[in-house]
Amino acid sequence: MGNEFLQDDEMQEIINDFIVESGELVENAIQDVVEIEQNQNEETINSIFRAVHTIKGTSSFLGFSVLSNLAHKAEDLLGMIRKGEIIIDKEIADTLLEALDMTRTIIEEIKEHGAEKQDTSVILNKLEILSKVEKKMLGEILIEEKIITKKELENVLDKQKEDKSKRLGEIVVEEKLITDKQLDNILSKQKVHKDDQTVRIDVKKLDELMNLVGELVLGRNRLIMVKNMAKRGSSNTKGSIDSLEDVTNYLEVITNEIQLSIMKARLVPMSKLFNKVPRLVRDLCNTFTKDIDLKITGEETELDRSLIELLHDPLTHIIRNSVDHGIETPEERKKKGKPGKGLLSISAYNEGNHVIIDIKDDGKGINLEALKEKVVEKGFMNESELKDLTEKEIMNLVFIPGLSTAKTLSSVSGRGVGMDVVKTNIEKMNGQAYIDSKQGEWTRLSIKLPLTLAIMGALMVEIGKELYAIPLSNVIELVKLKKESIKSVNKNEVLMLRDTIIPIVDVSKVMSIGVNGSAGGYLVICKIGEKIVGVKVGSVIGQEEIVIKPLGEFMGNINGICGATISGDGKVILILDIPAMINSSYMHKIHKKKEEKSEGQALALQQ
């Protein structure tokens, strides 16, 4: 019995490895198919062929006949492409993508149920038909282009029968019937792709390791506090203090190195996320009959793996909006004097301890007048209030929940789920999102994210008698507060700082702490996207590196808090969510205005 169980366990382990490996092969193959549709690259075609061949062989060995048969038919078609007998067009690319999607679905079924349940007859038929088509033969294309004659083609095909290892294109070039350059114009230039040298690591192990490092950082903070106490005390000898200081310094160096190493281990290139974008854009272009060039840069920029996964949905939503509502149809673009083909560019780059992702399209841009009309119509603001806002501030009103300027509904956007969802998801990652646009020309949405969510720099402040942490990524300046420097504009407190009016957020009021206002204190000047605000605090303790601890089920009930950390003396310190506070304060004003408007309308009706 023991041996049987061992065999079952071993087989299950092999199947699990097959599921992981095949899943990766399919994802890479999908990206490659999208690429070769635009650029018929020999190395990329070989890469797809090898992936499908591997899946076919392994699935056959494990007894997954449905998957093996599907991979076999796809391999037949890819073999003809490889030999240069078939030129890839949209129909072939669509069918290969459909086959790969089906392959992915079957792999998921094996993972969930241990068996195949899909009916593959339709896609198998499509693959078989395409493998037999004659219209796409390379030889006929060469004849149509009047590069070679029918007789010359017959001679070439006879030579290929003698040496089946040679491709049709190779023989045509060898016979000097066509130049390399002419062949390149048909099959496109060759590129060599270097495979990423990666090690597959269980994410759970990385998470456990990150938690251990987090505890180590807390231990270091506590030891630093003990050292400071010992220095202030008179009962300890100088020797013990020196020893303690040496240990603390050593621990600090080691902790920093471990922290950096673990953070790097969790970082993955943005290509893991960006590689899925070409397929998404391709499908959206087909849906909306649009022609778009996609330009991606900064794929090598690295970000924490957990953030990459969380970023998938917001990025997808932004791209859908750009293709659906942003970039016009070829006909519309030509009428406006633009090139018929639109441009969607996505770039990622490092800025300090942050990663910036820009998504820009050369579409119609944001219609500020339509946006202002919608804001007034929905009762969020009135016209006089809108006059006080800059163009950028008006643009960023698109993030207001429930606001959508889409005139028509589509299957992918414009269904009441607006940009506020994107902004909320980004802010959950301690990130920021802001938008810029020029009407009729372009729109750019920028996302700013920390490298990692687990450990970050923070400014420790005191509000009332409690300590709070403000993420340093939000902080740009500290200002000593004087009562006479605070002014009131529309019943809101502001500070005039170097000819700039800075709105003040009183944390005690936002969080209903009930702290009595005092003449002194500090303003922590924070920049959130395009907004600069001053956060009122009692005193500033200093800067510290903290470990973020999630609050779990309590998070939903606490406004303005994004997590907690533990101080050197073991106390829990809440981390202030500055973007959420600003939004909460702003939305409170908006809802209050809406309520006042509704009450006014009700009274008018009664009268």
DSSP line for 195-251: PP------HHHHHHHHHHHHHHHHHHHHHHHHHHHHHH-SSS-HHHHHHHHHHHHHH
Give mean pLDDT, residues 201-218.
74
CATH class of 455-589: mainly beta
485's CB contacts (< 8 A; 6+ apart) are 495, 496
Rounded CA gap, 569 and 201, in Å? 35
- Does 587 or 278 have the greater pLDDT score? 278
Is residue 307 scored above 80 in pLDDT? yes
- Nearest Cα to Cα of residue 473 among 453, 452, 457, 455: 457
Residue 345 pLDDT level (bands cut at 50, 70, 90): very high
Is residue 553 scored above 70 in pLDDT? no
pLDDT computed for residue 280 by the predictor: 87
Contact 115, 107 (CB under 8 A): no
Rounded CA gap, 199 and 208, in Å? 18
| CA-based torsion, 38, 50, 169, 87: positive or negative | negative
- Nearest Cα to Cα of residue 472 among 435, 502, 430: 430
| Residue whose entry in the numeric block shows the structure tokens 């605000």 | 533
pLDDT computed for residue 200 by the predictor: 60
Is residue 60 scored above 70 in pLDDT? yes
Q: Of the given ranges (91-100, 101-110, 162-171, 482-491), which has the lowest mean pLDDT?
A: 162-171
Local structure of residue 332 (DSSP, 8 states): H
Is residue 409 scored above 50 in pLDDT? no
- Nearest Cα to Cα of residue 469 among 556, 586, 579, 567: 567
Could you please report the per-residue DSSP string of 359-377? Answer: EEE-SS---HHHHHHHHHH
Cα separations in angstroms, 364 against 143, 373, 390, 598: 43, 18, 20, 34
Phi-psi region of 440 (alpha: psi -120 to 50; beta: other; left: phi over 0): left
pLDDT computed for residue 156 by the predictor: 78
Contact 48, 67 (CB under 8 A): no
**CA angle (488, 492, 497) in 5-degree steps:** 60
Contact 18, 59 (CB under 8 A): yes
Pairing of strands 354-361, 432-438: unpaired
Rounded CA gap, 110 and 532, in Å? 52
- Nearest Cα to Cα of residue 136 among 81, 55, 96, 189: 81
| Domain 2-136, CATH number (from 1.25.60.10, 3.40.50.300, 3.40.50.1100, 1.20.120.160) | 1.20.120.160
Contact 568, 545 (CB under 8 A): no
Residue 418 pLDDT level (bands cut at 50, 70, 90): low
Give mean pLDDT, residues 369-376.
85
**pTM of the predicted model, to two decimals?**
0.60
Return the percentage of the chain with pLDDT > 90, whole number: 9
Rounded CA gap, 398 and 371, in Å? 8
Domain ranges of the chain: 2-136, 203-268, 270-450, 455-589
Q: Which two tokens stand for residue 372?
A: 């202002």
Residue 297 pLDDT level (bands cut at 50, 70, 90): very high
The domain 270-450: what is its CATH number?
A: 3.30.565.10
pLDDT computed for residue 198 by the predictor: 53
Residue 343 pLDDT level (bands cut at 50, 70, 90): very high
511's CB contacts (< 8 A; 6+ apart) are 559, 560, 581
Q: Of the given ranges (107-111, 289-293, 502-506), which has the lowest mean pLDDT?
A: 502-506
pLDDT computed for residue 585 by the predictor: 54
Residue 87 pLDDT level (bands cut at 50, 70, 90): confident
Rounded CA gap, 59 and 56, in Å? 5
Mean pLDDT of the chain: 77
Rounded CA gap, 435 and 446, in Å? 6
Residue 388 pLDDT level (bands cut at 50, 70, 90): confident
Residue 104 amino acid letter: R
Residue 7 amino acid letter: Q
pLDDT computed for residue 557 by the predictor: 53
